[in-house]
C-alpha cells in the first residue's frame, strides 16, 4: 500500500478531537538508496515521535539501569508477585523486603520490554505496524507490547471514554511516548 493511502486510512480512524492535531508524516530519499527515510508523528505541528531520531523531548532509554533509576516510572506490585518472591525465598525474608525484591524483579521485566520495543522503531517498521493495526482488532493493539500499536490505538476513535479512563494503571507500565499519547487522549475527553 502506498504511503499516501496508508496515511489517509490512519487519519480516518483518528478521534474527532485529535483530527488535525495528530499527523502522520514520512520523508524518503529517492536518490540515496542507502539512506532510509524518516517517519514521524506530530502533534500540533510539533514532531513528537521521530522513528529514527533520539533527540525528541520524550525520554528514550539507553540501558536497563536508566529505567531502574528513573523516579518518574511507577511500577505497581500486586500480591501474587510478592507471594512468588516469598515462595522462592522459602519464607526467610521480612515482609517489607519482599515488596522491594518483587518491585525490582518487575522493573527488570518492564525494562527489557521497553528497550526491545523502542529499538524496533524505523520507517519500514512503521509501515508494517500501521498495516497490522488496520487489520487487527483494537483490543489486540491496546494490549500489545508494541509502542506504535499502542499509540495508534490510543488516538483511535473506536476507543471510548470509559475504556480510556479504565486503562490508567496499565499505562504506568508503558513507554513514556505511549504515556504521552494517553495523556493527550485523556485531555480531549
Residue-level pLDDT at 133: 92
The set of cell numbers assigned to 138 is 483494537
Task: Please report the sign of the dihedral spanned by the C-alpha atoms of residue 185, residue 186, residue 187, residue 189.
Answer: positive
Residue-level pLDDT at 164: 93
Q: Is the pLDDT of residue 53 over 80?
A: no
- What mean pLDDT is predicted for residues 124-131? 79
Residue-level pLDDT at 66: 79
Q: Give the pLDDT confidence of 3-48 residue by residue, as tens digits.
A: 788 889 999 999 999 998 999 887 765 555 555 567 788 899 888 8
Q: Is 6 left (phi over 0), alpha (psi -120 to 50) or beta?
A: alpha
Q: Is the pLDDT of residue 179 over 60?
A: yes
The answer to whether 42 and 25 are in contact (CB under 8 A) is yes
Task: Name, of 30-39, 41-50, 56-65, 150-159, the range with top average pLDDT.
Answer: 150-159
- Give the C-alpha separation, 70 to 101, whole Å: 17
Residue-level pLDDT at 114: 74
Q: Give the pLDDT confidence of 66-109 residue by residue, as tens digits.
A: 777 877 777 788 888 888 888 888 878 888 888 888 888 888 88
- Give the C-alpha separation, 175 to 35, whole Å: 27
Amino acid at each position: 500500500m502506498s504511503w499516501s493511502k496508508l496515511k489517509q486510512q490512519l487519519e480516518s480512524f483518528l478521534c474527532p478531537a485529535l483530527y488535525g492535531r495528530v499527523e502522520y508524516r514520512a520523508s524518503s530519499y529517492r536518490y540515496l538508496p542507502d539512506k532510509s527515510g524518516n517517519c514521524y508523528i506530530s502533534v500540533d505541528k510539533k514532531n513528537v515521535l521521530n522513528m529514527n531520531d533520539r533527540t525528541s523531548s520524550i525520554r528514550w532509554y539507553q540501558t536497563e539501569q536508566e529505567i531502574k533509576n528513573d523516579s518518574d516510572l511507577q511500577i505497581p506490585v500486586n500480591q501474587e508477585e510478592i507471594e512468588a518472591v516469598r515462595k522462592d525465598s522459602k519464607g526467610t525474608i521480612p515482609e517489607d523486603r519482599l515488596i522491594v525484591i518483587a518491585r525490582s524483579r518487575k522493573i527488570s521485566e518492564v525494562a527489557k520490554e521497553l528497550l526491545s520495543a523502542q529499538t524496533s522503531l524505523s520507517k519500514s517498521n512503521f509501515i508494517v505496524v500501521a498495516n497490522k493495526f488496520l487489520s487487527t482488532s483494537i483490543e489486540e493493539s491496546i494490549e500489545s507490547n508494541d509502542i506504535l500499536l499502542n499509540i495508534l490505538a490510543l488516538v483511535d476513535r473506536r476507543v471510548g471514554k470509559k475504556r480510556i479512563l479504565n486503562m490508567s494503571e496499565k499505562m504506568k507500565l508503558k513507554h513514556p511516548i505511549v504515556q504521552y499519547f494517553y495523556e493527550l487522549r485523556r485531555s480531549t475527553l
